[in-house]
Each structure stands twice: as C-alpha cells, then as structure tokens.
Amino acid sequence: MSILSLFILALGLSIDAFAAAVGRGASNGAPHFGAVLRGAFVFGFTEMLTPIVGWAIGWTFADWVEAVDHWIAFGLLAVVGLHMAWHAWRRDPEEEPPRRGLAGLIVTAIGTSIDAMAVGVSLALIDVDIRVAAPIIGGVTFTMTAIGLVAGRRIGEAVGHRAEIAAGFALALIGCGILWSHIG
C-alpha cells in the first residue's frame, strides 16, 4: 500500500474523530491550547493504537472482531452521545456547560476508533507494514481532531446550548451509521 493510500485511509478513519471533536468543542466552550492538544493527543494516540491491536490480532480472531466491532462502536457512541444530549437538554441554556473529563474523552476516542482496529486486521491480511501505517493514521487523526475542536468552539459560540444537544445526537448517529453499515 502506497504512502498516499495510507494518508487517504487515515483521512477516512479520522472523519468520525473529527465529528466527535466538533461536538466536544461546541459543548465545552472555548478550549485553551492545552485542551486542544490533550484532545488531539487522546484521539490520535487511540487511533494509532487500535490498528496495531487489530493488526496483532490478525488472522487469529479476524472473524470474531469483524462480527462484533460495529456493536461495540455503536454502544459506546450511542451511550456517550445520548448522555451528552440528555444532560444538555435538562440544563438551563444560560448555564455554563459542564467540562467533559478525560474519561469521557477516552471513551469517545475508543468508540470512534473501533473501525481502525478492524482496518488493522485487514492491514495484517494484506501485509502492510504497521510501523508505517499506524503513525500516519495517528498523525492525521491528531490533526483532524485539533481542527474539529477549534471549529466546534466557533460553532458552539454561534449556536450556544443547542450545539451540545446536536453534538450528542451526532455522536449517537455516528454509532448508528457504523452499525447500519455492517448490518444494513
């Protein structure tokens, strides 16, 4: 697989992390530089690690992973997204949105990275060097997440309280889309 193909693959894998980052940026208000770096690092590192895990699983568990990966991603994203939307709906629109902690960031990153694990299994089957592929995937996701967090902040400033509700439903819909693409 060429370097260009790996970058295109990485861009495709990073789109759901970008969407989650936009939602997170919109719901958390103005993230400072450190928060953007932390969010981008967590998503980028997770997106880099999951194809390595998938690659290591390789042929041994390929059928099992492919059979349930979409259910895991759906469950994580639906729970996190609906929880976010529910709490935003119940909160007074004038009230400051709660800061999302590291645990929520990690769960969201894992939920958006399950597809990268399945890709890792595929990369093992076509003999792609994971030492080249994983850093490209992680780096592109880091960049897309940082862009998403900053863009989300701007969106959140423009539409306020509704952005957090929309972001929660967007995460749940990403989970539904992953599930639908596997069973539909």
pLDDT at position 132 is 96
- Name the residue range of residue 167's domain: 3-183
pLDDT at position 144 is 95
Cα–Cα distance list, 179 to 10, 67, 69, 183 (Å): 20, 11, 9, 6
- pTM for the full model? 0.73
- Rounded distance between C-alpha atoms, residue 123 and residue 100, angstroms: 34
pLDDT at position 103 is 87
pLDDT at position 51 is 94
DSSP per residue over the chain, as a string? Answer: --HHHHHHHHHHHHHHHHHHHHHHHHHH-S--HHHHHHHHHHHHHHHHHHHHHHHHHHHHHHHHHHHHHHHHHHHHHHHHHHHHHHHHHHS-TTSPPPPP-HHHHHHHHHHHHHHHHHHHHHHHHTT--HHHHHHHHHHHHHHHHHHHHHHHHHHHHHHTHHHHHHHHHHHHHHHHHHHHHHH-
User: What's the structural domain count of the chain?
Assistant: 1
Closest Cα to residue 21, out of 1, 37, 2?
Answer: 37
pLDDT string in tens for the chain (184-residue length): 789 999 998 998 888 888 888 888 877 766 789 989 999 999 999 999 999 998 998 767 766 767 777 787 788 778 877 887 887 788 665 665 555 678 888 988 998 888 788 788 878 877 789 999 999 999 999 999 999 999 888 777 676 667 667 777 877 887 788 788 878 7
- Rounded distance between C-alpha atoms, residue 88 and residue 164, angstroms: 6
pLDDT at position 7 is 93
- Both tokens of 151, joined, read 């863009």
Torsion of CA 150, 104, 52, 36, to 10 degrees: 20
